[in-house]
Amino acid sequence: MSHAYFAIAFAYAMFSLGIAALEIRRIRATGPDAITVFVVIFMLQCCLPGVGIYASLPLADSTDPTGNYVFDYIFSQVHVTAALLVLALTIWFAAFVYIGAFVGRSLLRRLYPQSTAAAAFRIEGVGYRLVIIILGGLTLALVSFYLMGDDMVERYANLIRLRAYSDEVERTGLNAYATQLTQTWAWLSIPAIFVLYTGRKRGLVLYIFIIISALFALLGTSRRAIFIPIVLSYLSVLLYDGKWRIRLIVGLAIPILAWVVFGKEIFTTITFGGEIEEVAGRYESTASAVLRGSSEEGITIVESLGTITFLDDRLRLGVDHLLSIAQRFPHRQLGVEYPKRMVRISTDTFAGPDAQDVPPGLLGQMWLDFRVLGPVIWGLLIGMQLSAAQFLFERCERSLQSSALVALLVFLIALPTNTGSYDFTFSVDVIATLVGLAVSFRVRRVGVAS
């Protein structure tokens, strides 16, 4: 059995190298684009973690491999057939993302041909609007934070408990919205920094906003809240100048991986007490640490394994995504009850009815939706969305501002690759992010386009 998992890890490694070679060849003449940004996110969540998961799974303690109840429950029941199916769905999905992007770009170019090679538009951020939006968000976050306790340690501990839905902290309208929207302000602060950096009056305000961005990351009280702004910043600069900065990536890889592996334990220690030395001894072996870190980064793979293993029932036919949209409307006030969403079904199965949402994973959801046609439909739809982002990027002057905007838009398009559910795309923080971008960025015509 272990040889089979090692072979699957090798297959993920070869697929990762293959898709990297394909992407490098595709962008050789034009440089990185919106599709490249998606490919990087996809590889970080769905390809590279597969190598770590299946290479370390046979070597980790079989009774408690990661220390995470959901992961361990899924790994205790996983079989090679499910692992191979998830791998096949991953490859199939990637292929149709490329096909969808190619078809979408071809259609858009035919519908809106460009008569000159020069860029037709310029994307500009309105600095003062971004400053007002983010300072308003900071005020909301800090007021909520101040009311959470009597000192800084208690407040931060209660903030972590609030995000973990602990009964020890009262959940009010203020702290609930402030906590959820912290992610919005953190995301918007990245393009804001680039807008201020390229503006005429950069200086003290720019440095203040860098500090504010770091503060939002800390108030996010999660590894994701710190990791995402770093990735968005890197992808924005990559889109602008096309330089991969391999040395920087290698230099940051070790601290980032350590944060992924031990970050949750650090937050737990701050919240519930304990010695920080206990964090270092959290795992029984290096294999367990690698498995836990790879599973956290590739959570969509683990959840997809669980979905295919435990929830292989009737076809969903995309109904869950319609429910994701519909639940944003005040249906309960009208006496309307929707069917149970797949996110709650998967949560009940993996962790119990009282647990926080445990989504079905990208590959698991597409399997539930349409079986082998799932990657075809999902891939084409996401590819079409990417083609629209790429079409915008092609028609605009390449600048740090346009690159930051497009990187954030592609990140939002890629959100379902982490969960398989649009519940988290049609959420308050994402909607607020899109409104913030619409208000604070403008597109100006600078060339001639027919």
- Whole-model pTM? 0.92
Task: Using alpha carbons, select from 185, 180, 177 the residue that is nearest to residue 215.
Answer: 185
Q: Answer yes or no: is 278 within a domain.
A: no
Among the three residues 217, 243, 258, which one is the final residue of a domain in this structure? 258
CA distance 133 to 216: 13
* Overall size of the chain counted in residues: 450
Boundary (domain end) residue, out of 258, 275, 302? 258
Residues 440 and 304 in one domain: yes
Per the domain annotation, does 177 fall within a domain? yes
Q: How many domains does the chain have?
A: 2
**DSSP category for residue 124:** E
Q: Looking at 243, 258, 273, which one is the last position of a domain?
A: 258
Residue 275 lies in a domain: no
Q: What percent of the chain has pLDDT over 90?
A: 62
Cα separation, 44 vs 397, in Å, equals 28
Inform me whether the pLDDT recorded for 286 exceeds 90.
Answer: no
Q: Are 137 and 232 part of one and the same domain?
A: yes
Alpha helices by DSSP H, 112-245: 127-146, 152-163, 173-198, 204-219, 223-241
- Closest-CA residue to 411 (of 425, 423, 421): 425
- Please tell me whether residues 109 and 216 are part of one structural domain: no
Residue 229 pLDDT level (bands cut at 50, 70, 90) = very high
Q: Are residues 204 and 247 in the same domain?
A: yes
pLDDT of 449 reads: 44
Check whether 448 has a pLDDT greater than 60.
no
Q: Which of 15, 10, 184 is nearest to 89 (CA)?
A: 15
Q: Does 289 lie in the same domain as 242? A: no
> 434 with 300, same domain?
yes
What whole-number distance in Å separates Cα of residue 128 and Cα of residue 323? Answer: 37
Sign for the pseudo-dihedral over CA of 84, 85, 90, 92? positive
Q: Are residues 69 and 172 in the same domain?
A: no
Out of 32-41, 51-60, 215-224, 260-269, pick the least confident.
Answer: 260-269
d(CA 221, CA 164) in angstroms, rounded, equals 10
Pair 317, 437 in one domain: yes
Same domain, residue pair 415 and 340: yes
Q: Is residue 270 part of a domain?
A: no
- Is residue 271 in some structural domain? no
Amino acid at 25: R
> Would you say residue 317 lies in a domain?
yes
Range of the structural domain that residue 190 is part of: 123-258
423 found inside a domain: yes
Which pLDDT tens digit goes with each residue over 62-117? 788 888 899 999 999 989 999 999 999 999 999 999 999 999 999 999 998 876 66
CA atoms within 13 A on the CB side of 191: 32
Residue 297: inside a domain: yes
| Cβ–Cβ < 8 Å for 114, 397 | no
pLDDT of residue 57: 94
Q: Are residues 289 and 249 in the same domain?
A: no
